[in-house]
Structure 1
Amino acid sequence: MKIAFILFDGVTFLDFVGFYDGITRLKYFEETKAFTWDICALQDEVTDELGMTIKINKIKPALADYDMVFIPGGFGTRALRYDESFIAWIKEAKDAQYLISVCTGSLLLGAAGFLENKKATTHPYAYDLLAPYCQEVVHARIVRDGSVITGGGVATSIDLALYVIRLFLSEQDLQNIKKQMDYPYDMQNMVTY
């Protein structure tokens, strides 16, 4: 499984890091030790809404080469939905086994056409922005509709990672990861179609 973490200026880093921290723990398990991932963007650095900057290790890779594509949210998504070159890049992921977003990252999945005839969620304050892109906005923390998995607001990124981990590992392995993360909470309000 080859995973692309998509970043952009105006990202909310907790959206990214909450998911990244959980998913990268897959490397410690026999069943998933061959999983690889790249932090991807259109430029060599991205800056969040508050000025924190991180370096990118893959600049505009071919997203058709990835099995899982994850897009976090942030205020940068509002303008990026209309950025033709960015959306054309995201569209390269059309055949990915899993298309995943958290928070307003779903707006970018929607702008790429991946939410047509799908049910999805996003940050509760952005339900109205998501509505034009999908069949139905579901007021839930995690929504899976086929190959598309969308998560709600910022802190949902941790639960979303755990949800995805459970697709590949046993319940016991998941509980071990939660203990390692010192995460005592149970995933709630998940809907599958």
Structure 2
Amino acid sequence: MNKEWITELPCTDGQRRNKNTNSKTIAFFLFPELTPLDLVGPATVLEDRGFNVEYVWHNREKINTEINSFKFYPSITFDELEYVDILCVPGALDPFSIMRDEKAMRWLNKVGKNAEYVTSVCTGSIILAAAGLMNGYKAATHWLMGEYLTEFGAIPVHERVVIDRNRITGGGITAGIEFGLQLLSILRSEDEAKTMQLIMHYDPQPPFNAGTPNTAGDKITKMATDETYQLLAQKTPDYQQSIMAAKKFMEENLC
């Protein structure tokens, strides 16, 4: 049986939520083939904490993700959302294809320039950098992708969460929960973040000590590297052309 896990974020039957006009607006940027956990991790932390949380894309049609049966429905469109307090960009195995979407990149650049905080999870920081928003900032990303941050003028730092002025970036995929908790502590308080951590029972104790190249060792690191780039080549064989186009956009729109 073919099943789809469709997540409406957060609207039902086209109805808009009642907004709290006194609360900060957090906008999660959606795009095709994003990594669901990059979004679900921090959204789980932040969704029910009294913020106005939006999930933004060109339209409200469902978005396919890297997991074939897992779809998201946007809550709002680029044209409807001109200002956000906190911008958050999740990542993807292929963060490069979205760089060819000029309207999406211009929206990121526009709202990012005026946002109180510009944030990301995993390779979302590369998308932010390509949008001209990370030049000269330290940033986290997936351990395999740091070189692309450098190409777009950012400074890669191999940490789970990196805070540089008003840029807050999470490392690869699973760091999204830690990123969300750190962001909540900044927006509200450390006690509220600790409370949410306990509610979520976030107490990671992985079965293997292989979460970084240093702990995984050369053999496993090579296997992971080869597999990742094989998948990237299959998904986006021309990703280098996307990088070239994005570099031109970034140079014209640095902030």
Q: TM-score, normalised by structure 1?
A: 0.86
Please state which structure has a larger fraction of its residues in strand: 1
Matches within 5 A, 1:39-188: 39-44=55-60, 45-51=62-68, 52-61=70-79, 63-93=81-111, 94-185=113-204
What's the CA shift for 1:72?
A: 0.2
Aligned 8 A contact 1:64 1:95 in 2: no
**Cα distance, 1:135–1:39 mapped onto 2, change above 3 Å:** closer
Q: Which is higher, the Rg of structure 1 or of structure 2?
A: 2
- Three-state SS of the structure 1 residue aligned to 2:27 is strand
In 1, the alpha carbon distance for the partners of 2:55 and 2:101 equals 20
1:12 to 35, 52, 61: 35
Aligned 8 A contact 2:87 2:117 in 1: yes
Aligned 8 A contact 1:63 1:89 in 2: no
Q: Percent identity?
A: 30
What is the number of equivalent residue pairs in this alignment? 179
What's the CA shift for 1:130?
A: 1.6
**Cα distance, 1:89–1:135 mapped onto 2, change above 3 Å:** closer
In 1, the alpha carbon distance for the partners of 2:48 and 2:193 equals 10
Higher relative contact order structure (alpha carbons within 8 Å, sequence separation ≥ 6)? 1
Aligned 8 A contact 2:138 2:164 in 1: yes
Q: Which piece of structure 1 moves more, 76-85 or 118-127? A: 76-85
**Cα distance, 1:166–1:185 mapped onto 2, change above 3 Å:** farther
What's the CA shift for 1:71?
A: 0.4
2:47 to 24, 32, 40: 24
C-alpha RMSD of matched pairs (Å): 1.7
Return the letter of the residue paired with 1:152: G
What's the CA shift for 1:78?
A: 1.5
